[in-house]
Chains A and B, each alone.
Chain A
Amino acid sequence: MRAAVLCRVEMTAIVTDNLTKRFGDLVAVDGLDMTVERGEVFGFLGPNGAGKSTTINMLLGFLDPTSGSASVLGEDVVSDSIDLRTRIGVLPEGFSPYDRLTAREHVAYAGGIKNCDPDVEALLERVGLQREAWDRKAGGYSKGMCQRLALATALVGDPELLLLDEPSSGLDPEGMADMRDLIRSEAESGTTVFFSSHILSEVEAVCDRIAILRDGNLSALGTLDDLRAGTVTQVPMALSVEEVPGGIAGSLADLDAVRTATVEDSTIRVELDDPAHKIDIINYVDERTGIEDVIAEAASLEAMFERYANGADQTADGETEPAEVTA
């Protein structure tokens, strides 16, 4: 029994147990249960406001959980926060450098607190910060340079776990590619990588497993293949009509293609399993009343994810959009 427990501690990088955070009436994280294994690259996906940053802030000890608990590398996030932080590398959300310190000084600063002696130049080289900037004050850096610097400080002390909060924000495509390469090479050397993103392509490209957070709770967790195979998606659409036919909600809901149907004023809302059925619904309603407008609803995260994962890159109104979750 005891061996099993030890084994579990050894194998897991992050465990959250019914982790909850409330801000007044707002429940930012709502009973989150999640396990990240050691050595994996774990993508933490969700729209802005889903609770990603709040979760990470609790893991780092910036916020105290309202209830529930979490541990990182076996260390409790509340009681062992300092020990925990010596063993991880963090790229904090919206990293902002000290305006009057140079890149070298930032890396040395992190080394000083972590009580290790980092090879400053090797780290700055590794994250691709141009050499001319090393001795310049970071106040003049671009957003992309700041992110590279942040990554260099995260790598100080060869951490067992890298915790990257929106690492690609502010990076150009080349920077994002560099970031992916670095994540892969860190993973190959055995480092666990946990990173959050609201950009699907980011996560898909490097992650072993993905969690999708919505409204403070997991809406999906698994490998990409799991999610491709198993995710039940909803495709929302709305029709604005001249006059709502009586009982239309009920009769629509009886159709095989329709999961739910609701009526509100002169708007009929339906959720479908497959976007291909949209035209059938339009025809069905058109036979019964005049349609004023077909409203393309913002797709839910899962639908968006599903559509991207299936290789389609067309949105409902035919315009190509980046695979960025904007739900």
Chain B
Amino acid sequence: MKMTSTDRILILLTALLSGYQIVVGIDGLGTVPITAYTIAFGALLVAMLLMLILGFGVLDSPVVVIVSTVIPLALALGLAWEHLASYRILYLLFTLVGFAAIIVTRSLPFRGKLPTFVLAVVHGIAGLTIFLLPSILAADGTMKPGFALVGLGGAMIGLGGLLLSFLKAGRPILPRETILKVLPGLFMLMTACFVAGFKLG
């Protein structure tokens, strides 16, 4: 499916917002959160640039599964490190092991449902962390209400990941054309929510 001018503008805006977040949005945090957020928004930025260059064809690449894992995993690690001090090491271990498991199950010819199971567990935990943690922190007053927008972004990244995963698995929830029509807008809204959430929170 050919990319429209609107799609291109939305993707460019997503890339610019990701760049903005890397440059000014995460200043003043600790080393691990800064590294984690830089990896997350950096992967998003490079992915958007490649999508601008290659069009939607880039979604057919096998690397998409890995990139779409890096973004939520790194975001979740940054959030957990900042706000769940007692689970820091555990979450870091989960991130490293989860990422390694996805690379291994996607690189080697595994039979059965193990690759899908690994993907679902890793994405599920990371997605829930990004959605629930900011929402709870904003609701109980630990963070300002605006921080809930990060959770909203988390819900959108979950939706985007779901749409892409099923599309890649050959069992799309929606027709491919519909998914591709929705995706640029979803990416832009998701990134805008993250940027606004971090700023207002």
Q: Do A and B come from one complex?
A: no
